[in-house]
Structure 1
Amino acid sequence: MHYEGNMIRPPSEANSILLQATVGCSHNKCTFCAAYKGERFKIKSDDIIMEDIAFAAQYCRRQDRLFLCDGDALIIPQKRLVKFLTEIKRQLPWVTRVGTYANHKSLSMKSLDELKELRELGLKIAYMGLETGDDQTLKHVRKGCDSEKMIAMGKKCREAGIQLSITVLVGLAGRERSQEHAIATGKVLSAIDPEYVGALSLMIVPGTELYTEYEAGDFPILEPDEVLTELGTMIANTNLTNGLFHANHASNYLPIRAKMPEDKEKTLALINKALDGKVALKPEWMRAL
Protein backbone atom coordinates (compact mmCIF):
# COMPACT_ATOMS: atom_id res chain seq x y z
CA MET A 1 0.00 0.00 0.00
CA HIS A 2 1.12 3.56 -0.70
CA TYR A 3 0.64 5.67 2.42
CA GLU A 4 1.56 9.33 2.85
CA GLY A 5 1.49 11.80 5.71
CA ASN A 6 -0.35 11.56 9.01
CA MET A 7 -3.07 9.07 8.16
CA ILE A 8 -6.06 8.90 10.50
CA ARG A 9 -9.10 6.64 10.69
CA PRO A 10 -12.05 6.29 13.11
CA PRO A 11 -11.61 3.85 16.02
CA SER A 12 -14.39 1.65 14.61
CA GLU A 13 -12.35 1.16 11.41
CA ALA A 14 -9.38 -0.35 13.24
CA ASN A 15 -9.72 -3.68 11.45
CA SER A 16 -10.64 -2.28 8.05
CA ILE A 17 -8.59 -2.17 4.86
CA LEU A 18 -7.18 1.37 4.80
CA LEU A 19 -7.18 2.68 1.25
CA GLN A 20 -5.68 6.16 1.06
CA ALA A 21 -7.41 8.03 -1.76
CA THR A 22 -6.62 11.55 -0.53
CA VAL A 23 -3.86 13.09 1.57
CA GLY A 24 -4.78 15.56 4.30
CA CYS A 25 -8.03 17.45 4.83
CA SER A 26 -9.84 19.62 2.29
CA HIS A 27 -10.82 22.13 5.02
CA ASN A 28 -7.87 22.00 7.45
CA LYS A 29 -8.77 25.28 9.22
CA CYS A 30 -10.28 24.11 12.53
CA THR A 31 -8.52 25.82 15.43
CA PHE A 32 -8.53 22.70 17.65
CA CYS A 33 -7.16 20.20 15.12
CA ALA A 34 -3.51 19.44 14.44
CA ALA A 35 -4.08 16.24 12.46
CA TYR A 36 -3.06 17.62 9.08
CA LYS A 37 -1.21 20.83 9.92
CA GLY A 38 1.40 21.55 7.27
CA GLU A 39 -0.06 19.04 4.83
CA ARG A 40 -1.43 20.26 1.51
CA PHE A 41 -4.61 18.46 0.54
CA LYS A 42 -4.50 16.37 -2.62
CA ILE A 43 -6.31 13.54 -4.34
CA LYS A 44 -3.94 10.71 -5.16
CA SER A 45 -3.49 9.54 -8.74
CA ASP A 46 -5.80 6.91 -10.21
CA ASP A 47 -2.82 4.66 -10.91
CA ILE A 48 -1.72 4.60 -7.26
CA ILE A 49 -5.25 4.00 -5.97
CA MET A 50 -5.82 1.19 -8.46
CA GLU A 51 -2.50 -0.40 -7.48
CA ASP A 52 -3.56 -0.34 -3.83
CA ILE A 53 -6.94 -1.90 -4.62
CA ALA A 54 -5.11 -4.68 -6.46
CA PHE A 55 -2.78 -5.12 -3.46
CA ALA A 56 -5.78 -5.39 -1.12
CA ALA A 57 -7.38 -7.94 -3.45
CA GLN A 58 -4.34 -10.15 -2.99
CA TYR A 59 -3.37 -9.59 0.64
CA CYS A 60 -6.46 -8.35 2.55
CA ARG A 61 -8.91 -11.20 2.14
CA ARG A 62 -9.61 -11.49 5.88
CA GLN A 63 -10.90 -7.92 6.18
CA ASP A 64 -14.52 -7.37 5.14
CA ARG A 65 -14.60 -3.60 5.58
CA LEU A 66 -12.69 -0.85 3.80
CA PHE A 67 -12.11 2.76 4.84
CA LEU A 68 -11.25 5.50 2.36
CA CYS A 69 -8.62 7.74 3.93
CA ASP A 70 -7.76 10.61 4.55
CA GLY A 71 -9.67 13.52 6.02
CA ASP A 72 -12.30 13.82 3.35
CA ALA A 73 -12.28 11.30 0.50
CA LEU A 74 -15.92 12.10 -0.28
CA ILE A 75 -14.76 15.32 -1.94
CA ILE A 76 -13.31 13.30 -4.85
CA PRO A 77 -15.27 14.15 -8.03
CA GLN A 78 -18.18 11.77 -8.55
CA LYS A 79 -16.93 10.15 -11.76
CA ARG A 80 -13.60 9.19 -10.18
CA LEU A 81 -15.18 8.06 -6.92
CA VAL A 82 -17.61 5.86 -8.82
CA LYS A 83 -14.65 4.38 -10.68
CA PHE A 84 -12.84 3.52 -7.43
CA LEU A 85 -15.90 2.05 -5.73
CA THR A 86 -16.74 0.01 -8.81
CA GLU A 87 -13.23 -1.43 -8.82
CA ILE A 88 -13.41 -2.19 -5.09
CA LYS A 89 -16.68 -4.01 -5.68
CA ARG A 90 -15.18 -5.96 -8.57
CA GLN A 91 -11.83 -6.91 -7.03
CA LEU A 92 -12.87 -7.16 -3.36
CA PRO A 93 -16.33 -8.78 -3.49
CA TRP A 94 -16.02 -9.92 0.14
CA VAL A 95 -15.97 -6.30 1.38
CA THR A 96 -19.40 -5.64 2.89
CA ARG A 97 -18.97 -1.97 3.81
CA VAL A 98 -16.97 1.02 2.61
CA GLY A 99 -16.64 4.04 4.89
CA THR A 100 -15.26 7.56 4.60
CA TYR A 101 -14.99 10.84 6.44
CA ALA A 102 -17.37 13.54 5.21
CA ASN A 103 -17.82 17.21 5.97
CA HIS A 104 -20.42 19.83 5.10
CA LYS A 105 -18.43 20.91 2.04
CA SER A 106 -18.10 17.48 0.44
CA LEU A 107 -21.71 16.57 1.21
CA SER A 108 -22.92 19.84 -0.33
CA MET A 109 -20.98 19.05 -3.51
CA LYS A 110 -22.84 15.75 -3.99
CA SER A 111 -26.46 15.65 -5.07
CA LEU A 112 -28.86 13.29 -3.33
CA ASP A 113 -28.86 11.05 -6.41
CA GLU A 114 -25.06 10.97 -6.44
CA LEU A 115 -24.96 9.95 -2.80
CA LYS A 116 -27.50 7.22 -3.53
CA GLU A 117 -25.29 6.03 -6.38
CA LEU A 118 -22.33 5.80 -4.01
CA ARG A 119 -24.49 3.90 -1.52
CA GLU A 120 -25.39 1.35 -4.19
CA LEU A 121 -21.69 0.89 -4.90
CA GLY A 122 -20.95 0.03 -1.28
CA LEU A 123 -20.42 3.34 0.56
CA LYS A 124 -22.51 2.53 3.61
CA ILE A 125 -21.18 4.80 6.36
CA ALA A 126 -19.87 8.36 6.61
CA TYR A 127 -18.17 9.94 9.62
CA MET A 128 -18.94 13.64 10.07
CA GLY A 129 -17.36 15.99 12.59
CA LEU A 130 -20.12 18.22 13.91
CA GLU A 131 -18.10 19.11 17.03
CA THR A 132 -20.81 21.51 18.26
CA GLY A 133 -24.29 22.68 17.39
CA ASP A 134 -23.62 26.13 18.82
CA ASP A 135 -23.21 28.63 15.97
CA GLN A 136 -21.02 30.96 18.01
CA THR A 137 -18.62 28.14 18.82
CA LEU A 138 -18.67 26.83 15.24
CA LYS A 139 -17.57 30.27 14.08
CA HIS A 140 -14.93 30.58 16.80
CA VAL A 141 -13.27 27.26 15.91
CA ARG A 142 -13.49 28.07 12.17
CA LYS A 143 -15.52 25.04 11.22
CA GLY A 144 -16.66 26.79 8.06
CA CYS A 145 -20.43 26.46 8.39
CA ASP A 146 -23.35 26.94 10.75
CA SER A 147 -25.66 24.49 12.48
CA GLU A 148 -28.39 24.86 9.85
CA LYS A 149 -25.98 23.69 7.15
CA MET A 150 -24.80 20.81 9.34
CA ILE A 151 -28.39 19.66 9.82
CA ALA A 152 -29.16 19.87 6.10
CA MET A 153 -26.07 17.91 5.08
CA GLY A 154 -26.58 15.29 7.78
CA LYS A 155 -30.17 14.77 6.72
CA LYS A 156 -29.14 14.47 3.07
CA CYS A 157 -26.62 11.77 3.94
CA ARG A 158 -29.23 9.82 5.86
CA GLU A 159 -31.83 10.25 3.12
CA ALA A 160 -29.36 8.69 0.70
CA GLY A 161 -29.31 5.57 2.88
CA ILE A 162 -25.74 6.12 4.09
CA GLN A 163 -25.33 5.53 7.81
CA LEU A 164 -24.01 8.55 9.67
CA SER A 165 -21.60 8.64 12.59
CA ILE A 166 -21.30 12.12 14.08
CA THR A 167 -18.47 13.30 16.33
CA VAL A 168 -18.98 15.98 18.98
CA LEU A 169 -16.40 17.59 21.26
CA VAL A 170 -17.21 18.08 24.93
CA GLY A 171 -15.43 21.17 26.27
CA LEU A 172 -14.99 22.86 22.90
CA ALA A 173 -16.90 26.00 23.91
CA GLY A 174 -14.88 26.59 27.06
CA ARG A 175 -16.47 27.45 30.38
CA GLU A 176 -18.67 30.43 29.50
CA ARG A 177 -20.65 28.73 26.74
CA SER A 178 -20.50 25.19 28.08
CA GLN A 179 -24.24 24.79 28.59
CA GLU A 180 -25.19 26.66 25.40
CA HIS A 181 -22.87 24.37 23.48
CA ALA A 182 -24.31 21.25 25.14
CA ILE A 183 -27.96 22.22 24.57
CA ALA A 184 -27.44 23.34 20.97
CA THR A 185 -25.44 20.22 20.13
CA GLY A 186 -28.18 17.99 21.52
CA LYS A 187 -30.76 19.82 19.40
CA VAL A 188 -28.71 19.46 16.20
CA LEU A 189 -28.10 15.76 16.86
CA SER A 190 -31.84 15.31 17.42
CA ALA A 191 -32.64 17.09 14.14
CA ILE A 192 -30.24 14.90 12.14
CA ASP A 193 -31.04 11.71 14.09
CA PRO A 194 -27.88 9.77 13.12
CA GLU A 195 -27.25 6.09 13.74
CA TYR A 196 -24.14 6.84 15.80
CA VAL A 197 -22.81 9.68 17.94
CA GLY A 198 -19.26 9.69 19.25
CA ALA A 199 -18.50 12.18 22.04
CA LEU A 200 -14.85 13.01 22.68
CA SER A 201 -13.55 15.21 25.50
CA LEU A 202 -11.41 18.09 24.27
CA MET A 203 -7.66 17.68 24.64
CA ILE A 204 -5.76 20.77 23.54
CA VAL A 205 -2.92 19.97 21.16
CA PRO A 206 0.26 22.07 21.02
CA GLY A 207 0.67 23.86 17.70
CA THR A 208 -3.02 24.61 17.26
CA GLU A 209 -4.63 28.04 17.43
CA LEU A 210 -6.75 26.87 20.35
CA TYR A 211 -3.58 25.96 22.24
CA THR A 212 -2.29 29.49 21.68
CA GLU A 213 -5.53 30.81 23.18
CA TYR A 214 -5.13 28.46 26.13
CA GLU A 215 -1.53 29.57 26.77
CA ALA A 216 -2.62 33.21 26.67
CA GLY A 217 -5.26 32.49 29.30
CA ASP A 218 -8.12 33.13 26.87
CA PHE A 219 -9.46 29.57 26.79
CA PRO A 220 -10.02 27.67 30.04
CA ILE A 221 -9.97 23.86 29.99
CA LEU A 222 -12.94 22.35 31.81
CA GLU A 223 -12.42 20.40 35.01
CA PRO A 224 -13.60 16.74 34.96
CA ASP A 225 -16.84 17.53 36.80
CA GLU A 226 -17.57 20.34 34.34
CA VAL A 227 -16.95 17.94 31.45
CA LEU A 228 -19.41 15.45 32.94
CA THR A 229 -22.00 18.16 33.58
CA GLU A 230 -21.74 19.32 29.97
CA LEU A 231 -21.98 15.76 28.67
CA GLY A 232 -25.06 15.15 30.81
CA THR A 233 -26.75 18.27 29.44
CA MET A 234 -25.90 17.21 25.90
CA ILE A 235 -27.37 13.74 26.35
CA ALA A 236 -30.46 15.16 28.08
CA ASN A 237 -31.09 17.32 25.01
CA THR A 238 -30.39 14.57 22.49
CA ASN A 239 -33.33 12.53 21.21
CA LEU A 240 -32.44 9.74 18.79
CA THR A 241 -35.06 7.37 17.44
CA ASN A 242 -32.65 4.44 17.14
CA GLY A 243 -29.02 5.36 17.70
CA LEU A 244 -25.92 4.64 19.74
CA PHE A 245 -24.38 7.42 21.80
CA HIS A 246 -20.75 6.58 22.53
CA ALA A 247 -18.45 8.40 24.93
CA ASN A 248 -15.93 5.60 25.28
CA HIS A 249 -13.05 7.25 23.43
CA ALA A 250 -9.69 7.33 25.23
CA SER A 251 -10.12 11.06 25.85
CA ASN A 252 -13.21 10.61 28.04
CA TYR A 253 -13.25 10.48 31.83
CA LEU A 254 -16.31 8.23 32.02
CA PRO A 255 -16.86 5.48 29.40
CA ILE A 256 -20.43 5.51 28.09
CA ARG A 257 -22.23 3.38 25.54
CA ALA A 258 -25.93 4.18 25.41
CA LYS A 259 -28.59 2.79 23.10
CA MET A 260 -30.99 5.65 22.50
CA PRO A 261 -33.66 6.26 23.56
CA GLU A 262 -33.94 3.32 25.96
CA ASP A 263 -30.65 3.89 27.83
CA LYS A 264 -30.98 7.66 28.15
CA GLU A 265 -32.22 7.91 31.73
CA LYS A 266 -29.87 5.16 32.92
CA THR A 267 -26.93 7.01 31.36
CA LEU A 268 -27.90 10.32 32.96
CA ALA A 269 -28.15 8.53 36.31
CA LEU A 270 -24.64 7.12 35.81
CA ILE A 271 -23.27 10.61 35.11
CA ASN A 272 -24.93 11.94 38.26
CA LYS A 273 -23.38 9.11 40.30
CA ALA A 274 -19.98 10.04 38.89
CA LEU A 275 -20.56 13.68 39.79
CA ASP A 276 -21.43 12.56 43.33
CA GLY A 277 -18.14 10.67 43.56
CA LYS A 278 -19.79 7.23 43.51
CA VAL A 279 -18.22 6.16 40.19
CA ALA A 280 -14.47 6.37 39.57
CA LEU A 281 -13.25 8.49 36.66
CA LYS A 282 -10.34 7.76 34.36
CA PRO A 283 -7.19 9.45 35.73
CA GLU A 284 -5.70 12.24 33.62
CA TRP A 285 -2.58 10.27 32.74
CA MET A 286 -4.68 7.59 31.03
CA ARG A 287 -6.46 10.01 28.69
CA ALA A 288 -5.29 10.18 25.09
CA LEU A 289 -6.28 11.14 21.57
Structure 2
Amino acid sequence: MLHYSGTVYRPPSEAHSLIIQVTVGCSHNKCAFCNMYKDKKFSITPREQVLEDLRWARAQYPRVERFFLADGDALILPTDRLLEILGDIRALFPECTRVSTYASPKSILGKTPEDLSALHKAGLDFAYLGLETGNEALLQKINKGVTVAQQIEAGQKLKAAGLALSVTAISGLAGSNGDWQAHAMDTAKALNAMGPDFIALLTLRIYTGTPMADWVASGELVTPTPMELIREAKLLLEHIDCPGAVFRSNHASNYLVLAGNLNQDRDRLIAECEEALRGEAPLRKFVELGR
Protein backbone atom coordinates (compact mmCIF):
# COMPACT_ATOMS: atom_id res chain seq x y z
CA MET A 1 0.00 0.00 0.00
CA LEU A 2 0.98 3.65 -0.32
CA HIS A 3 3.21 5.22 2.34
CA TYR A 4 1.50 8.17 4.02
CA SER A 5 2.86 10.00 7.08
CA GLY A 6 0.40 11.91 9.25
CA THR A 7 -2.62 13.76 7.90
CA VAL A 8 -2.43 14.28 4.14
CA TYR A 9 -4.04 17.36 2.58
CA ARG A 10 -4.92 18.15 -1.02
CA PRO A 11 -6.95 20.84 -2.81
CA PRO A 12 -10.63 20.03 -3.42
CA SER A 13 -10.02 19.85 -7.18
CA GLU A 14 -7.54 17.00 -6.63
CA ALA A 15 -10.21 14.68 -5.22
CA HIS A 16 -9.67 12.18 -8.04
CA SER A 17 -5.88 12.45 -8.19
CA LEU A 18 -3.47 9.84 -6.86
CA ILE A 19 -1.58 11.49 -3.98
CA ILE A 20 2.12 10.71 -3.78
CA GLN A 21 3.85 12.04 -0.66
CA VAL A 22 7.23 13.16 -2.02
CA THR A 23 7.81 15.40 0.99
CA VAL A 24 6.45 15.20 4.52
CA GLY A 25 5.02 18.33 6.11
CA CYS A 26 5.54 21.96 5.14
CA SER A 27 8.92 23.62 4.71
CA HIS A 28 7.62 26.85 6.32
CA ASN A 29 4.79 25.74 8.63
CA LYS A 30 4.66 29.03 10.54
CA CYS A 31 1.57 30.76 9.15
CA ALA A 32 -0.53 32.19 11.98
CA PHE A 33 -3.85 30.91 10.61
CA CYS A 34 -2.82 27.37 9.67
CA ASN A 35 -3.02 24.15 11.69
CA MET A 36 -1.97 21.83 8.88
CA TYR A 37 1.13 19.62 9.16
CA LYS A 38 1.56 20.27 12.89
CA ASP A 39 1.68 16.51 13.47
CA LYS A 40 4.95 16.03 11.60
CA LYS A 41 8.36 17.50 10.94
CA PHE A 42 9.34 18.49 7.42
CA SER A 43 11.40 15.92 5.57
CA ILE A 44 12.06 14.66 2.08
CA THR A 45 10.73 11.23 1.18
CA PRO A 46 13.49 8.87 -0.02
CA ARG A 47 13.36 8.33 -3.78
CA GLU A 48 13.18 4.55 -3.28
CA GLN A 49 9.97 4.94 -1.27
CA VAL A 50 8.41 7.23 -3.88
CA LEU A 51 9.29 4.76 -6.62
CA GLU A 52 7.89 1.90 -4.53
CA ASP A 53 4.61 3.79 -4.14
CA LEU A 54 4.39 4.44 -7.87
CA ARG A 55 5.07 0.81 -8.71
CA TRP A 56 2.48 -0.34 -6.16
CA ALA A 57 -0.10 2.03 -7.66
CA ARG A 58 0.70 0.79 -11.17
CA ALA A 59 0.02 -2.77 -10.05
CA GLN A 60 -3.28 -1.77 -8.40
CA TYR A 61 -4.91 0.64 -10.80
CA PRO A 62 -5.56 0.07 -14.50
CA ARG A 63 -5.57 3.79 -15.24
CA VAL A 64 -4.33 6.87 -13.32
CA GLU A 65 -4.63 10.13 -15.22
CA ARG A 66 -3.88 12.67 -12.49
CA PHE A 67 -1.27 12.89 -9.73
CA PHE A 68 -0.86 15.29 -6.83
CA LEU A 69 2.59 15.61 -5.28
CA ALA A 70 2.21 16.12 -1.52
CA ASP A 71 2.79 17.41 1.14
CA GLY A 72 2.71 21.15 1.63
CA ASP A 73 5.55 22.10 -0.67
CA ALA A 74 6.86 19.43 -3.01
CA LEU A 75 8.51 22.10 -5.14
CA ILE A 76 11.12 22.59 -2.41
CA LEU A 77 12.76 19.39 -3.68
CA PRO A 78 15.93 19.79 -5.77
CA THR A 79 15.07 20.10 -9.42
CA ASP A 80 16.95 16.92 -10.34
CA ARG A 81 14.95 14.93 -7.78
CA LEU A 82 11.68 16.31 -9.10
CA LEU A 83 12.69 15.52 -12.67
CA GLU A 84 13.37 11.92 -11.62
CA ILE A 85 9.94 11.63 -10.00
CA LEU A 86 8.20 13.14 -13.01
CA GLY A 87 10.12 10.80 -15.27
CA ASP A 88 9.03 7.81 -13.18
CA ILE A 89 5.40 8.91 -13.37
CA ARG A 90 5.50 9.31 -17.14
CA ALA A 91 7.29 5.99 -17.63
CA LEU A 92 4.92 4.01 -15.40
CA PHE A 93 1.73 5.90 -16.25
CA PRO A 94 1.81 6.96 -19.91
CA GLU A 95 -1.91 7.78 -19.63
CA CYS A 96 -1.16 10.57 -17.11
CA THR A 97 -2.63 13.90 -18.20
CA ARG A 98 -1.76 16.13 -15.24
CA VAL A 99 0.68 16.37 -12.33
CA SER A 100 0.10 19.11 -9.77
CA THR A 101 1.49 20.31 -6.45
CA TYR A 102 1.29 22.95 -3.76
CA ALA A 103 4.08 25.49 -4.20
CA SER A 104 5.35 27.99 -1.65
CA PRO A 105 6.69 31.35 -2.87
CA LYS A 106 10.10 30.61 -1.37
CA SER A 107 10.41 27.30 -3.20
CA ILE A 108 9.38 28.91 -6.47
CA LEU A 109 11.84 31.77 -6.06
CA GLY A 110 14.54 29.21 -5.31
CA LYS A 111 14.15 27.79 -8.80
CA THR A 112 15.60 29.39 -11.91
CA PRO A 113 13.32 30.03 -14.89
CA GLU A 114 15.18 27.20 -16.60
CA ASP A 115 14.41 24.87 -13.68
CA LEU A 116 10.71 25.62 -13.82
CA SER A 117 10.58 25.28 -17.60
CA ALA A 118 12.34 21.91 -17.37
CA LEU A 119 9.87 20.73 -14.74
CA HIS A 120 6.95 21.80 -16.90
CA LYS A 121 8.37 20.03 -19.94
CA ALA A 122 8.86 16.90 -17.80
CA GLY A 123 5.18 16.90 -16.88
CA LEU A 124 4.54 19.28 -13.97
CA ASP A 125 1.40 20.99 -15.20
CA PHE A 126 -0.33 22.75 -12.32
CA ALA A 127 0.62 24.58 -9.11
CA TYR A 128 -1.38 25.89 -6.17
CA LEU A 129 -0.02 29.03 -4.51
CA GLY A 130 -1.39 30.54 -1.30
CA LEU A 131 -1.38 34.32 -1.64
CA GLU A 132 -3.78 34.74 1.32
CA THR A 133 -3.56 38.56 1.15
CA GLY A 134 -1.99 41.22 -0.98
CA ASN A 135 -1.75 43.64 1.94
CA GLU A 136 1.86 43.95 3.08
CA ALA A 137 1.20 44.60 6.76
CA LEU A 138 -1.30 41.77 7.03
CA LEU A 139 0.96 39.36 5.13
CA GLN A 140 3.75 40.03 7.62
CA LYS A 141 1.39 39.71 10.59
CA ILE A 142 0.25 36.22 9.55
CA ASN A 143 3.92 35.25 9.19
CA LYS A 144 3.79 34.06 5.61
CA GLY A 145 7.54 34.54 5.40
CA VAL A 146 7.62 36.59 2.19
CA THR A 147 6.68 40.01 0.90
CA VAL A 148 3.82 40.78 -1.47
CA ALA A 149 6.34 41.54 -4.20
CA GLN A 150 7.87 38.09 -3.73
CA GLN A 151 4.44 36.49 -3.89
CA ILE A 152 3.74 38.25 -7.16
CA GLU A 153 7.15 37.36 -8.57
CA ALA A 154 6.61 33.70 -7.66
CA GLY A 155 3.27 33.57 -9.42
CA GLN A 156 4.64 35.29 -12.49
CA LYS A 157 7.59 32.86 -12.63
CA LEU A 158 5.27 29.86 -12.65
CA LYS A 159 3.14 31.37 -15.38
CA ALA A 160 6.18 32.27 -17.47
CA ALA A 161 7.34 28.66 -17.26
CA GLY A 162 4.04 27.46 -18.70
CA LEU A 163 2.40 26.05 -15.58
CA ALA A 164 -1.26 26.61 -14.86
CA LEU A 165 -1.56 28.64 -11.65
CA SER A 166 -4.27 28.51 -8.99
CA VAL A 167 -4.05 31.18 -6.28
CA THR A 168 -5.94 31.24 -3.01
CA ALA A 169 -6.93 34.26 -0.94
CA ILE A 170 -8.63 34.25 2.46
CA SER A 171 -11.69 36.40 3.05
CA GLY A 172 -11.94 37.80 6.57
CA LEU A 173 -8.23 37.57 7.28
CA ALA A 174 -8.06 41.14 8.59
CA GLY A 175 -11.03 40.59 10.90
CA SER A 176 -14.01 42.92 11.13
CA ASN A 177 -11.99 45.21 13.40
CA GLY A 178 -9.04 45.41 11.00
CA ASP A 179 -8.51 47.16 7.68
CA TRP A 180 -10.61 44.76 5.63
CA GLN A 181 -10.92 47.29 2.82
CA ALA A 182 -7.14 47.39 2.33
CA HIS A 183 -7.02 43.59 2.50
CA ALA A 184 -9.65 43.28 -0.25
CA MET A 185 -8.27 45.94 -2.57
CA ASP A 186 -4.61 45.03 -2.15
CA THR A 187 -5.41 41.34 -2.70
CA ALA A 188 -7.19 42.22 -5.93
CA LYS A 189 -4.18 44.27 -6.98
CA ALA A 190 -1.79 41.38 -6.31
CA LEU A 191 -4.02 38.94 -8.18
CA ASN A 192 -4.13 41.31 -11.13
CA ALA A 193 -0.33 41.40 -11.21
CA MET A 194 -0.01 37.61 -10.95
CA GLY A 195 -2.55 36.82 -13.64
CA PRO A 196 -3.55 33.37 -12.32
CA ASP A 197 -5.62 30.87 -14.26
CA PHE A 198 -7.74 30.08 -11.21
CA ILE A 199 -8.65 32.16 -8.16
CA ALA A 200 -10.07 30.51 -5.04
CA LEU A 201 -11.52 32.77 -2.34
CA LEU A 202 -11.72 30.90 0.95
CA THR A 203 -13.18 32.05 4.27
CA LEU A 204 -11.08 32.46 7.40
CA ARG A 205 -11.34 29.56 9.82
CA ILE A 206 -10.04 29.78 13.36
CA TYR A 207 -8.24 26.66 14.56
CA THR A 208 -7.35 25.83 18.14
CA GLY A 209 -3.65 26.08 18.89
CA THR A 210 -2.81 28.66 16.23
CA PRO A 211 -1.61 32.22 16.91
CA MET A 212 -4.77 33.47 15.22
CA ALA A 213 -6.90 31.62 17.77
CA ASP A 214 -5.00 33.50 20.47
CA TRP A 215 -5.75 36.78 18.70
CA VAL A 216 -9.45 35.97 18.69
CA ALA A 217 -9.39 34.98 22.36
CA SER A 218 -7.71 38.26 23.33
CA GLY A 219 -10.00 40.39 21.18
CA GLU A 220 -7.15 41.47 18.91
CA LEU A 221 -9.07 39.97 15.98
CA VAL A 222 -12.85 39.84 15.65
CA THR A 223 -14.11 37.19 13.24
CA PRO A 224 -16.35 38.73 10.57
CA THR A 225 -20.04 37.98 10.25
CA PRO A 226 -21.32 36.38 7.03
CA MET A 227 -22.53 39.74 5.75
CA GLU A 228 -19.17 41.36 6.48
CA LEU A 229 -17.45 38.58 4.54
CA ILE A 230 -19.75 39.07 1.56
CA ARG A 231 -19.17 42.83 1.69
CA GLU A 232 -15.44 42.18 1.56
CA ALA A 233 -15.78 39.72 -1.35
CA LYS A 234 -17.79 42.32 -3.25
CA LEU A 235 -15.06 44.92 -2.78
CA LEU A 236 -12.41 42.47 -3.98
CA LEU A 237 -14.45 41.65 -7.09
CA GLU A 238 -14.93 45.35 -7.82
CA HIS A 239 -11.13 45.71 -8.09
CA ILE A 240 -10.22 42.44 -9.82
CA ASP A 241 -8.99 42.60 -13.41
CA CYS A 242 -7.89 39.07 -14.38
CA PRO A 243 -9.19 38.29 -17.87
CA GLY A 244 -9.62 34.57 -18.44
CA ALA A 245 -9.29 33.53 -14.79
CA VAL A 246 -11.78 31.09 -13.31
CA PHE A 247 -13.13 32.52 -10.04
CA ARG A 248 -14.51 30.24 -7.36
CA SER A 249 -15.76 30.91 -3.85
CA ASN A 250 -17.45 27.56 -3.32
CA HIS A 251 -15.27 25.97 -0.64
CA ALA A 252 -16.99 24.39 2.37
CA SER A 253 -15.92 27.46 4.36
CA ASN A 254 -17.83 29.92 2.17
CA TYR A 255 -21.27 31.23 3.17
CA LEU A 256 -22.13 32.47 -0.33
CA VAL A 257 -21.27 30.31 -3.32
CA LEU A 258 -19.81 32.34 -6.19
CA ALA A 259 -18.58 30.91 -9.49
CA GLY A 260 -17.74 32.54 -12.78
CA ASN A 261 -15.14 33.44 -15.36
CA LEU A 262 -13.34 36.76 -15.24
CA ASN A 263 -13.73 39.36 -16.33
CA GLN A 264 -16.91 38.47 -18.22
CA ASP A 265 -18.87 37.36 -15.14
CA ARG A 266 -17.54 39.96 -12.73
CA ASP A 267 -20.65 42.17 -12.84
CA ARG A 268 -22.88 39.16 -12.21
CA LEU A 269 -20.76 38.04 -9.27
CA ILE A 270 -20.89 41.53 -7.77
CA ALA A 271 -24.67 41.59 -8.28
CA GLU A 272 -24.96 38.23 -6.45
CA CYS A 273 -23.04 39.72 -3.53
CA GLU A 274 -25.37 42.73 -3.50
CA GLU A 275 -28.40 40.44 -3.57
CA ALA A 276 -27.04 38.52 -0.56
CA LEU A 277 -26.31 41.75 1.29
CA ARG A 278 -29.96 42.76 0.81
CA GLY A 279 -31.02 39.43 2.30
CA GLU A 280 -32.43 38.20 -1.00
CA ALA A 281 -30.11 35.21 -1.48
CA PRO A 282 -29.81 32.11 0.68
CA LEU A 283 -26.58 31.59 2.58
CA ARG A 284 -25.12 28.30 3.71
CA LYS A 285 -26.24 27.67 7.25
CA PHE A 286 -23.97 24.76 8.12
CA VAL A 287 -20.69 26.63 8.01
CA GLU A 288 -19.06 27.67 11.28
CA LEU A 289 -16.10 30.01 11.35
CA GLY A 290 -14.38 28.62 14.42
CA ARG A 291 -13.80 25.43 16.25
Q: TM-score range by the shorter chain?
A: over 0.9
Letter in 2 for 1:7: V
User: For residues 248 and 177 of structure 1, do their structure 2 counterparts lie closer, same or farther at Cα, with a shift above 3 Å needed?
Assistant: same
**Please, what TM-score do these two structures have when normalized by structure 1?**
0.97
Offset at residue 36 of structure 1 (A): 1.2
Instruction: Report the counterpart of residue 47 of structure 1 in structure 2.
Output: 48
For residues 105 and 154 of structure 1, the distance between their equivalents in structure 2, rounded to whole angstroms, comes to: 11
Q: Post-superposition, which runs of at least 4 consecutive aligned residues in structure 1 deviate over 6 A?
A: 286-289
Call closer, same or farther: CA 1:53–1:34 in 2, change over 3 Å. same
The within-5 A match list for 1:11-26 is 11-26=12-27
Q: Which amino acid aligns with 1:251?
A: S
Contact persistence 1:252–1:287 (CA under 8 A)? no
- Alignment partner of 1:232 is 2:228: no
How far, CA to CA, are the matches of 1:105 and 1:158 in structure 2?
A: 16
Structure 2 stretches lacking a partner, 5+ long: none
Deviations 1:111-152 (A, max 9, x none): 111101111111000000000000000000000111111111
Cα deviation code 1:67-119 (max 9, x no counterpart)? 00000000001111111111111011111100000011100111111101111
Partner of 2:31: 30
The equivalent residue for 1:138 is 139
SS of the aligned residue for 1:130 comes to strand
**C-alpha displacement at 1:284, in angstroms?**
4.3
Give the letter for the 1:25 counterpart.
Answer: C
Which residues of structure 1 form unaligned runs of 5+? none
Equivalence for 1:202? 204
Alignment of 1:188-267 (within 5 A): 188-267=190-269
Give deviations 1:167-199, integer Å, cap 9, x for gaps. Answer: 100001112210100000000000111000111
- SS state of the match for residue 187, structure 2? helix
- The Cα offsets for residues 222-271 of structure 1, whole Å up to 9 and x where unpaired, read as 01111001011111111112110100000000011110010000000000
| SS of 2:29 mapped into structure 1 | coil
**Match of residue 108 from structure 1:** 109
The letter of the residue matching 1:253 is: Y
Q: Match for residue 279 of structure 1?
A: 281
Matched-pair contact (CA < 8 Å) for 1:195–1:244: yes
Note the alpha carbon deviations across 1:201-220, whole angstroms, 9 max, x for none: 00101110100111111110
Distance 1:103 1:136 in 2: 19
1:6-49 CA distance string (max 9 Å, x none) = 11000000000111101100000000000012421001111100
In structure 2, the residue matched to 1:5 is 6
Counterpart residue identity of residue 268, structure 2: K
Partner SS for 2:189: helix
> Does residue 169 of structure 2 align to residue 165 of structure 1?
no
The range that moved more, 65-74 or 55-64, is: 55-64
Aligned partners of 1:135 and 1:285: how far apart in 2?
A: 29
- The verdict on how the C-alpha distance between 1:288 and 1:215 changes in structure 2, with shifts beyond 3 A counting, is closer
> In the alignment, is the contact (CA less than 8 A) between 2:167 and 2:196 conserved in 1?
yes
Q: What's the counterpart of residue 74 of structure 1?
A: 75
Query: Aligned pair 1:156/2:157, yes or no?
Result: yes
Q: Secondary structure at the match of 2:240?
A: coil
Percent of paired sites with the same residue:
38
CA RMSD of aligned residues (A): 1.3
Q: CA deviation at 1:63?
A: 2.9
Partner of 2:92: 91
CA contact (8 A) 1:15 1:63 kept: no
Change (3 A) 1:63 1:288: farther
Query: Equivalents in 1 of 2:251, 2:185: separation in Å?
Result: 21
